[in-house]
Amino acid sequence: MTTATVQLTIFADESEIPGDGVPVKTVAGCAGRLVLGDGDPRLLTTLYDGDLTEQRWALWQLLSRVRGVIGAGKICLRRVGDIDDDTLTSLALDLHNATDGGCTLPDEPALADVVARVGEAEDRYRRWVDEDPTVRTSLQIAKDVTAFARATEGVTAEVLDETQLQAERCHLLCAVGGASRVSPPRLVCASWDPPGATGAPLMLVGKGVTFDTGGVNTKPYESFVSMMKNDMGGAALAWALFRALVEAQHPERLVVAIPTCENPVGEDAMRPGSIVTGHRGISVRIDHTDAEGRLILADALSWGSERFAPHKILTFATLTTAALNSYGPYATPVHFADAALQSALQQASGRTGEDLHFFPGRVWHREANRDKEADLRNTARLPGNAVRAAGSRNAAHFLRFFSDIPLVHTDIFASTWNWGGDAPGAGYGATGAPLRTFLAAMSA
């Protein structure tokens, strides 16, 4: 079977499934049959009676149970009955990821084009996250961004090295990455100026910690240190989104800013208790060196707001383990979205089957970031028995101190990596979420 193409047909109605083959145990009562004969193996199934997020997960459970067949590496996907385009496209994207592009839609050429385009963006995102951290360094990120800018009309790039960052007072970014020679501090920016576009740009900012040891407060094994090459997932997502929009000739001006470095242990590493003043002139006490992502984002937000004067900023970061602990392995918390963007993302997530949850600003989360020695500390805490709660929300509010421009922050720690081992379409490592939702919302 290793050279076979699995013929996967999804039926809207169980009554339409042929009776040949053998039943396959499915999730939540979905019907499934496997037909093995002289030709290609055929898998026939219905979808779970839930929303698309649940349908994606349930179908993946079924496919996991017939892994010997799915391991063929090629899947031909068809639908029978009233299954809408969005559902089929999202399922096909999962299969595209699972088979390294080996999913075909022979009866759906228009949808196949969408799957190829979005799948390429997700592939780029996942490759960056999965790549060895000694290869996917700040220097490699800068090299890839500048190469794309040189090859693409309307795109320009700018890279600030340590000397320039110090001159620009980006001391928070320099503090986090100051001990790294392999992946030293860089602020990597690219701008898209399409013909005829006017007005302020939209700025995308992605956290690019290429490996996070935790610094002097070194991560224990139980804190996922062996997986911390994924701590540049925000940079990978911001770049994949920017590039996909540029290649689609997005009509709006765009900027992507990637603060990137490694958070190492070394003689020049930042110390707990140090007070560092960044680009905006706000002093921050380093209470814990493993709360480093918000520090590099702070300088990028302040510098980028001054340099590009965007009308809105979207930040993406694997910012807090609390996002996984609080929301589970598939959810993505989105903080501070305005009504229009929240509506667009909710509609898009309904079409893509990705699980987004929205949270407003709250004064107690903002004030939890205050410090007695400095203006802020990098480990916000609520008072009393609530002290260990709301880590994702507290960290999001930290970022708002560093720009007056409307900011929407997405904490992707829980969803960008396959923590549960059963994320649809994903193997070990990066999932590609929630790129397809943001791309759909911004392409509408």
Mean pLDDT by 10 residues, the chain (444 residues): 78 90 79 84 91 94 73 85 97 94 96 97 98 97 98 98 98 97 98 96 98 92 86 98 98 98 95 98 97 98 98 98 92 97 98 97 98 97 86 97 98 96 93 98 89
- Amino acid (one-letter) located at 393: R
How far apart CA 201 and CA 314 sit, in angstroms, is 11
List Cβ neighbours of 240 (8 Å cut-off, separation of 6 or more): 121, 122, 124, 125, 128, 435
pLDDT for residue 1: 41
Two tokens, residue 338: 């305005």
Question: Position of tokens 């800018």?
Answer: 149
Which CATH homologous superfamily contains domain 126-443?
Answer: Zn peptidases (3.40.630.10)
What is the CATH code of the structural domain delimited by 5-107? 3.40.50
Distances, alpha carbon 340 to alpha carbons 40, 320, 345, in Å: 47, 26, 9
> Residue 345: its pLDDT value, please?
98
Q: Amino acid identity of 12?
A: A
Report how far residue 397's alpha carbon sits from residue 368's, in angstroms, rounded to the nearest whole number. Answer: 9
Q: What is the pLDDT of residue 145?
A: 98
Residue with token string 């779970």: 48
Domain extents in the chain: 5-107, 126-443
* Region label for 309, one of left (φ > 0), alpha (ψ between -120 and 50) or beta (otherwise): left
For the record, the structure tokens of 414 come out as 């829980």
For the chain, helix (H) and strand (E) counts, in that order, are: 14, 18
Query: 126-443: same fold as 5-107?
Result: no
Q: Which residues fall within 8 angstroms of residue 153, CB to CB, at 6 or more apart?
A: none
Closest to 168 measured CA to CA, from 187, 141, 147? 187
Residues 6+ apart with CB under 8 A from 255: 189, 190, 191, 192, 201, 202, 203, 204, 304, 308, 310
What is the structure's pLDDT at 70?
Answer: 57
Q: Say what the pLDDT of residue 397 is.
A: 98
How far is the CA of 66 from the CAs of 7, 38, 103, 128, 367, in angstroms?
A: 13, 18, 16, 29, 52
How many Å apart are CA 118 and CA 96, to the nearest integer? 10
Q: How far is CA 379 from CA 130, 275, 382, in A?
A: 28, 13, 10
The structure tokens listed for 336 are 């501070």
Q: Report pLDDT for 175.
A: 98
What are the catalytic residues?
Answer: 219, 294
